[in-house]
Chain A
Amino acid sequence: MNFTRRETLAISGAAAAATLLPYNLMASTPDLIAGITGGAEASGEGISLTAPEIAENGNTVPISVDAPGAVAITLLAAGNPTPGVAKFNFGPGSGSQNATTRIRLAGTQDVIAVAEMADGSFASAHQTVKVTIGGCGG
């Protein structure tokens, strides 16, 4: 790919601006949710996200999501260098649409869960987790 001088300047300028922003401004929660739902409205009902309010160690933060009737749940961390965390897919044999895992968080930020229901609708929940020591290798 060839860049003109003007494009190169614009790209480096944008990159510099992005690095200067604090973590929680890098990706906004509504934008991330819209990215998963494809712009569709996500209701706040029918999904619960369990995360600690304060996590001492950002390397292992226990997270649990529960969304009865969901076919998939996507977990996002708004303030991580890459916001995607995991996507849980529930097959027909799953007993309840509930999963628990441990995630890494770079700093204090919003953790977001977006559930895709069997009828194609979406539900989302988010919670702010305070992180004392970040978990992304500095």
Chain B
Amino acid sequence: MAKGVKPRVKVPKTAAAGDTITIKTLISHKMETGRRKSKGKLVPRMIINKFVAKFNGKEVFSTDMHPAISANPYFSFYTKVSESGTFEFSWTDDKGKTVKASRKITVK
């Protein structure tokens, strides 16, 4: 993946059991659509096409992306937590490279 690809994730550190929490994710990426021209030549398509969020190994949310997702893809979604654990996030680009991030949450 291109240089400077940096994921940012916002997950609450603690939650009460059964709470629905909001997770916000942002990753810096140009998301080249393959339609933009630079010096008369088309810039080849290069996007992140898959985003997966897992909690303790189980998928809670995933997205298949097409070029119509803006640069620096941002997602916010909700999940219900009943136990402490780890959220794992992964972004995969057109070349198959993956960027990962993880966050721990304590459920009281």
Contact = CB atoms under 8 A, between A and B. Distances in A.
Nearest to A97: B78
Contact of A104 (B20, B37, B68): B68
A60 interface: yes
Contacts of A102: 69-70, 73-74
Task: Place the interface of chain A in its size category.
Answer: 20 to 34
Interface string A67-97: 0000000000100111011111111111110
Given A99-B75, A103-B68, A92 B35 contact: no
A80 B71 CA distance: 16
A95 B80 CA distance: 4
Interface of A: 59-61, 77, 80-82, 84-96, 98-105, 135-138
Contacts, number: 103
B17 to A, nearest CB: 13
Contacts of A105: 68
B13 interface: no
